[in-house]
Amino acid sequence: MIYTVTFNPAIDYVVRIDHPMVVGAVNRAAGEDCVLGGKGINVSGVLQQLGCESVALGFVAGETGKWLERGLAAQGLQTDFVQMKQGMTRINVKIKADLETELNGAGPDIPEDARRAFEEKIDKLTEGDILVLAGSIPASLSQDTYEKILQRLQGRGVQTVVDATRDLLARVLPYHPFLIKPNNHELEELVGVKLNSDEEIAQAAGYLQKRGARNVLVSMAGNGALLRDENGAIHRIGCPKGKVINSVGAGDSMVAGFVAGYQKTHDYAYALRLGTACGSATAFSLGLARKEDIEALLETI
């Protein structure tokens, strides 16, 4: 089974205004939507489109948490969140006007008993399971939480995927994650060097492998992606043609496609193709990638 983790999920309240927003005055919306998400939940959503079952893990609280769970269930997603008694799952307000404005909620504090309950769920993972850790860690959790999770899973045959930045990613490398997915700018931060060519990116990915990562997938937005697999092979792929509408969730979609592709075929080249198709399908859409769009793009790569 594939498990995804979203420590601080959210309900995004998206408001569209067809005129310039006036601060300090009443502004009337032309339309609004509620989007349920978080990086791990995005991965689960795209996995579902690909016919792969997953379970979304994390923390929810209050009536907004119950609403989020009901909404994900209505979308056909399986969840196993830790229910917290205090606080509320956050609401992020996204205002789409002449200028885009965001007001992101903080989310609930995660107490010790909730953390232990989450660890009990992690302890149930067994050989052959895949765990996807994506995004930042809330302030109420230790910043070495990812590291502790991978340490907890050592020797149990669970494949881990980590999509994080800077120290969060660097700290997990000694635990040999199956896949890490920095973008090219994040890779530069990790190695401390400006990367100007595919050869330099491949060398930097090799450096991360020497530090422990098995497979390094480097996304490069409109320039495609580069994969250095655990056998030392370099796979380079371009990006299909299309109009970028919204890049939010594109990286999560690429992770979902790669994991699904590898789980199905154990072929890194195919996993990269499917990951690229999923990431692009999301970038070319208002929401997350849909099955039909993924399949259409896959034929063009």
User: Whole-angstrom distance between the N-terminal and C-terminal Cα of the chain?
Assistant: 28
Average confidence (pLDDT) over 46-63? 96
pLDDT at 122 over 80: yes
pLDDT at 33: 87
pTM greater than 0.85 (yes/no)? yes
Output phi, psi for 234, to 5 deg.
Answer: -105, 125
Task: Residue 183: name the closest of 274, 259, 254, 101 by CA.
Answer: 254
pLDDT at 100: 82
Average confidence (pLDDT) over 164-192? 92
pLDDT at 289: 87
C-alpha torsion angle, residues 36, 38, 43, 45 (rounded to 10): 0
Least confident of 11-15, 130-134, 220-224, 265-269: 220-224
* Strand-pair category, 31-37 with 10-16: antiparallel
> Which residues fall within 8 angstroms of residue 42, CB to CB, at 6 or more apart?
134, 249, 252, 253, 256, 288
7-29 pLDDT, tens digit each: 999 999 989 899 898 889 999 99
| Gap between the Cα atoms of 15 and 153, Å rounded | 41
- Quick one: pLDDT band at residue 216, thresholds 50, 70, 90? very high
Task: Give the percent of the chain with pLDDT over 70.
Answer: 100
Give me the catalytic one of 12, 163, 229, 252: 252
Computed over every residue of the chain, the mean pLDDT equals 92
pLDDT at 166: 85
Q: What is the DSSP letter of 183?
A: B
Are 187 and 163 within 8 A, CB to CB?
Answer: no
- Quick one: pLDDT band at residue 50, thresholds 50, 70, 90? very high
Q: What residue segments make up the domains of the chain, in order of their start?
A: 2-9+38-89+108-298
CATH match of 2-9+38-89+108-298 with 3.40.1190.20: yes
C-alpha torsion angle, residues 258, 263, 264, 269 (rounded to 10): 40
Please confirm, yes or no, whether 229 is among the known catalytic residues: no
